Each structure stands twice: as structure tokens, then as C-alpha cells.
Amino acid sequence: AVQRTFSIIKPDATKRNLTGAINAKLEAAGLRIVAQKRIHLTKAQAGVFYAVHAERPFYDELCEFMASEPIVVQVLEGEDAIAKNREVMGATNPAEAAEGTIRKEFALSIGENSVHGSDAAETAAVEIAYFFSGLELVG
Ligand code: CMP
């Protein structure tokens, strides 16, 4: 079925001017960018977004990193968009990411891993609603 998923181009990637290169890979994978904006999160806003990881040892470092530079938040649409996006992103740890994936090509480490993508339909809906209003989604 046609789905929407939420995506972030993270600080390590925006800093290295990789927004276009990453978007090219998303589009080549059959995903349509139906909403996109460049924003600079506060650490508190990053903390809310990643609240599910609040008990993890890397939480503070993760929030610092996500607030360190601008990010690009996006809504991607397509057939099985959630799985398709996870496939083109590659494994969280770039050392384990498959050839040709975004993380294999661009990620620096498990923390500075260039992109985020929703892991399920329920989280996609919550994540999209945190950053976008309905009027901003242009399919
Ligand atoms: P993301 O898909 O955005 O979801 C949570 C993020 O936490 C994950 O990508 C990684 O960037 C980050 N993360 C996961 N494990 C670690 C770790 N061991 N150290 C630092 N960051 C991590």
C-alpha cells in the first residue's frame, strides 16, 4: 500500500552539504518527497523527538548532536515507504550497512549516521505530526 514515512537528514550530513546527494538516493529508491524543511532544533526539542530513547546511555549525546547543526525533516511517500526507506538508509551502524545504502556511503559512525527513518506506521504518524501540519504535506 502507499504509505508515508518520516525522514531526517542529520547534522553530520547537512554540515557536509549532502542534502542533495541523499535526496537523490531517496528519489532513486522510488520515494517521493512530499514535504521538506530545514530547521535547527533545540536540545529540548530533540529530547522530545527521541523520548523513547531517554533511558539509553547515548541519549544525551544523541540530543546534543541533533541540536548541533541544522537538519532537514521530510515526509516521504511511496509504495511500502517505511520499509523502502529503511532499506535505502541501511543499518543503523554504517559498519553493518549494505553496499549502496545511504549510511554505507555517507555515515560517519553509529551516532553520526546521516539519516533517520520511522520504524513503523504508528511512529511515522507521530513523527510527521511533530514537525508538519497537514497543509504542509503536498502529495
Ligand atoms: P535513529 O534511527 O535516528 O534512532 C536513534 C538514534 O540513536 C540512531 O538513529 C543512532 O543515530 C543513535 N544511536 C543508536 N545507538 C547509538 C550508540 N550506541 N551511540 C550513539 N548513538 C546511537
Helix (H, G, I), strand (E, B) or coil at 20: helix
| ipTM, two decimals | 0.94
Quick one: pLDDT at residue 52?
96
Contacts for 115 with CB less than 8 Å, ≥ 6 apart: 7, 8, 9, 10, 13, 22, 89, 102, 103, 107
Q: How far is the CA of 102 from the centre of ligand 1 (A)?
A: 15
Q: Quote the mean pLDDT of the chain.
A: 98
Catalytic residue among 77, 116, 128, 132: 116
Using the atom order of ligand 1, give the atom closest to the CA of residue 119: 2
Q: Whole-angstrom Cα distance, residue 62 to residue 64?
A: 6
Q: What is the pLDDT of residue 17?
A: 98
Ligand 1 centroid to Cα of residue 56, in Å, is: 10
pLDDT in tens, 63-104: 999 999 999 999 999 999 999 999 999 999 999 999 999 999
Say whether pTM exceeds 0.95.
yes
